[in-house]
Amino acid sequence: MSALILIVEDEAAIHDLLAYNLEAEGFRTRVVESGEEVHPAIHDEMPDLVLLDWMLPGLSGIEVCRMLRARPETQALPVIMLTARGEEAERVRGLATGADDYIVKPFSVPEVMARIRSLLRRMKPEAVSDTLARGDIILDRVKKRVSRGVRDIVLSPTEFRLLEYLMQSPGRVFSRAQLLDRVWGDTKDIDERTVDVHVGRLRKSLSRGREPEPIRTVRGSGYAFDDRYGKSN
């Protein structure tokens, strides 16, 4: 499951260009064309980074950025502001409202990609790293391999994505509906019990005998990768 970039840009030519190139680099993207759509999009799925145009119809990029910084759940969300204003004073104003970086239009695509990667590496290293490691469990996104201690763990593609998704946000509880949506994608004909079946198989593959259980079942809510896992053992 690769990092999700939320693109907030009203000009189709620009958001298409960004989305196309980001997807070619392995990111997932979501595009909204106004500031008013940002909150619902974030509520739907928390992005790893927001590319935010300054000049938007309705709420401006600056206002959206302020709004993100005011909410505890998005206070630390990486934000890169896109703008046609290259003046130093504007740059300072953009950063003062809480943007983490600032790109002036017209931009070069490789520059945007480099800035996104560098900001993610700095603020959300788990979103761009090739491997995720929690305790003795190591998931290699490039080789699509999982190991626990010295043991290789063989998982189906779905179980791999499920583990990757949970490991990316240790401690965070995901409902069955959220997991279906993000791990399975097309969920029209899939029952939520499918999630239980796959979590069951994943657990069976991960743990043998008395090995500690890394995945928590949160009654009435869903599943989480235990954020305490690997810290005491």
User: Which residue, 81 or 139, is less far from Ca ion as judged by CB?
Assistant: 81
Region near Ca ion per CB under 5 A, out of 51-59, 127-135, 146-154, 209-217: 51-59
Non-local (6+) Cβ contacts of 155 within 8 A are 146, 163, 202, 205
Shortest separation between residue 56's beta carbon and Ca ion, angstroms: 6
Non-local (6+) Cβ contacts of 184 within 8 A are 158, 190, 194
Shortest separation between residue 55's beta carbon and Ca ion, angstroms: 4
Does residue number 101 form part of the binding site for Ca ion (CB under 5 A)?
A: no
User: Which residue, 10 or 226, is less far from Ca ion as judged by CB?
Assistant: 10
Binding string, residues 64-83; x marks residues near Ca ion by CB under 5 A: --------------------
User: Which residue, 53 or 164, is less far from Ca ion as judged by CB?
Assistant: 53
> From CA 5, how far away is CA 49, in angstroms rounded?
5
Taking only Cα atoms into account, the Rg of the chain, rounded to an integer number of angstroms, comes to 19
Does residue number 17 form part of the binding site for Ca ion (CB under 5 A)?
A: no
Burial of 95 (0-12, 13-18, 19+ CB in 10 A): middle
User: Which residue, 26 or 86, is less far from Ca ion as judged by CB?
Assistant: 86
User: Which residue, 91 or 203, is less far from Ca ion as judged by CB?
Assistant: 91
> From CA 103, how far away is CA 83, in angstroms rounded?
6
Shortest separation between residue 12's beta carbon and Ca ion, angstroms: 10
> From CA 75, how far away is CA 31, in angstroms rounded?
20
Candidate list 17, 46, 55, 67; residue touching Ca ion; CB under 5 A: 55
Shortest separation between residue 5's beta carbon and Ca ion, angstroms: 17
Read off φ and ψ for residue 32, nearest 5 degrees: -125, 150
Q: How far is CA 173 from the centre of its chain?
A: 15
Does residue number 53 form part of the binding site for Ca ion (CB under 5 A)?
A: yes
What residue number has its CB nearest to Ca ion? 55
Strand order in the sheet with 131-134: 131-134, 137-140, 145-148, 151-153
User: Which residue, 53 or 100, is less far from Ca ion as judged by CB?
Assistant: 53
CA neighbours closer than 13 Å in the CB half-sphere of residue 180: 16
Region near Ca ion per CB under 5 A, out of 54-62, 173-181, 187-195, 225-233: 54-62
User: Which residue, 55 or 173, is less far from Ca ion as judged by CB?
Assistant: 55
User: Using CB under 5 A as the criterion, which residues of the chain lie in contact with Ca ion when the complex forms?
Assistant: 10, 53, 55
